[in-house]
């Protein structure tokens, strides 16, 4: 018989689905429960007591016969009771033993799932943030032209370095005009840009990474929609791209400011303060490494642009910009992991758990190295033309 070719995406999806199924089967076995019993109790924990058997069957995609059989078994074990519900249907209620069982065995599983999702949120959040320049580049290259696209890539490093001098070296004529235009408009949005990055860490520390992800998605969608309107519809060119980016950053930086300034259900809130010189000096010292890292990356990009301008002109800068966009997506994964793990590092450092810090460092090196090595081999393997809109790039 000829093997059916599913395609790589479908094969990967089916493999992931089977792996997930095996994980929950293993959990049920370790908890001393059947698969169906575990699913029934998990569903009751989600829907609440008094739900009907048909509700459970629909929620967890099991047949009503399977649900009825599992409920009868759990009832016989003293975990469930059936009481009058809507019409002739009987609602499913937990006994005291059933409530105790869910608290001891089901709730911890839900907490693990929640923790895993919250660990993913900072990564997704940074990926959303990285799309600012990627979206700008896509619309500018396809609707404005090669020279504005090169200007965008030429000026972006200085925006990241907050005013580092030297980006305009080698630029002239129309390219210089576009660079000045884009940088002036983007500099006006640097404050919300900084606030957005700061509040990403605030949300993680306040145990609200999911809310931070929602804000990043909202800011990203705002940027995409306005890029289309300002560039493709209104034909505002590079100025439209800068305005769209600035407004998107304002959504991600200003709205959280109001959230933390008011009473909220998180662990943090902005209050009145006074000048704390010692604290500020410590903040400067602690953040100096991050400043040098970002500044050095911007300077390296500036030097690349300087050499590319001499060797390949606008085409070289535009092509390098496309490569950097791909790099942004990979970097976002590592930065998201760093933001997500920083509260854990801070907690153990404050508690003096140096052994746990060393353990976390070792695991982080393995994770980052394990993800980075395959990525470096993966990058050159894709030889398809990227969506720059220009064949000469």
- pLDDT by residue (tens digit) across 375-386? 666 555 444 444
Q: Taking residues 94-104, report their average pLDDT.
A: 91
Q: Taking residues 247-271, report their average pLDDT.
A: 88
pLDDT given at position 165:
37
Assign 163 a pLDDT band (cuts: 50, 70, 90): very low
Higher per-residue pLDDT: 337 or 184: 184
pTM of the prediction? 0.59
**Per-residue pLDDT tens digits for 50-69:** 888 888 988 888 888 888 99
Q: Which helix (H) or strand (E) holds 51?
A: strand 51-52
Which of 73-82, 163-172, 175-184, 330-339 shows the lowest mean pLDDT across its residues? Answer: 163-172
What's the alpha-carbon Rg for the chain, to the nearest Å? 27
pLDDT given at position 247:
92
**From edge to edge, which strands make up the β-sheet containing 51-52?**
51-52, 90-94, 80-84
Q: Taking residues 242-249, report their average pLDDT.
A: 89
**Per-residue pLDDT tens digits for 285-302:** 877 777 777 777 777 777
Q: Which residues contact 12 (CB under 8 A, 6 or more apart)?
A: none
Q: Taking residues 140-149, report their average pLDDT.
A: 79
Bridge partners of 52, per DSSP, are: 91
CATH number at 8-94? 1.10.10.10
Q: Where in the chain is the domain with CATH 1.10.10.10?
A: 8-94
Task: Report the chain's terminal Cα–Cα distance, integer Å.
Answer: 46
CA dihedral for 304, 310, 312, 317, sign (positive or negative): positive
Q: Find the Cα–Cα–Cα–Cα dihedral 152, 154, 157, 159, rounded to 10°.
A: -50
């Amino acid at each position: 018989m000829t093997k059916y070719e599913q395609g790589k995406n479908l094969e990967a999806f089916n493999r992931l689905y089977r792996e997930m199924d095996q994980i929950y089967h293993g959990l049920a076995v370790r908890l001393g429960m059947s698969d169906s019993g575990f699913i029934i109790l998990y569903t009751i924990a989600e829907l609440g007591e008094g739900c009907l058997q048909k509700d459970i069957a629909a929620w967890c995609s099991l047949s009503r016969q399977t649900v009825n059989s599992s409920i009868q078994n759990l009832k016989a074990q003293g975990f469930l009771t059936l009481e009058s519900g809507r019409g002739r249907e009987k609602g499913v209620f937990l006994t005291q033993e059933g409530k105790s069982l869910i608290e001891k065995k089901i709730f911890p599983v839900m907490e693990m799932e929640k923790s895993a999702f919250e660990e993913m949120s900072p990564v997704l959040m940074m990926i959303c943030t990285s799309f600012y320049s990627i979206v700008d580049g896509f619309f500018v290259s396809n609707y404005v032209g090669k020279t504005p696209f090169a200007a965008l890539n030429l000026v972006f490093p200085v925006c990241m370095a907050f005013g580092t001098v030297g980006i305009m070296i080698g630029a002239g004529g129309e390219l210089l005009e576009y660079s000045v235009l884009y940088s002036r408009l983007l500099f006006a949005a640097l404050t919300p840009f900084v606030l957005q990055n700061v509040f990403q860490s605030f949300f993680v520390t306040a145990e609200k990474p999911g809310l931070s992800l929602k804000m990043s998605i909202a800011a990203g969608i705002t940027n995409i929609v306005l890029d289309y309107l300002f560039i493709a519809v209104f034909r505002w060119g590079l100025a439209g791209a800068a305005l769209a980016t600035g407004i998107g950053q304002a959504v991600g930086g200003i709205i959280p400011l109001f959230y933390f300034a008011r009473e909220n259900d998180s662990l943090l809130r902005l209050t009145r303060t006074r000048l704390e010189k010692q604290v500020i000096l410590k903040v400067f010292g602690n953040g100096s490494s991050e400043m040098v890292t970002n500044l050095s990356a911007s300077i390296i990009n500036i030097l690349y642009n300087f050499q590319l301008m001499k060797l390949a002109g606008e085409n070289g800068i535009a092509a390098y910009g496309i490569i950097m966009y791909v790099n942004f997506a990979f970097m976002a994964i590592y930065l998201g992991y760093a933001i997500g793990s920083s509260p854990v590092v801070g907690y153990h450092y404050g508690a003096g758990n140096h052994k746990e810090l060393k353990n976390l460092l070792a695991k982080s090196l393995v994770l980052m190295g394990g993800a980075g090595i395959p990525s470096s081999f993966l990058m050159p393997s894709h030889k398809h033309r990227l969506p720059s809109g220009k064949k000469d790039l």
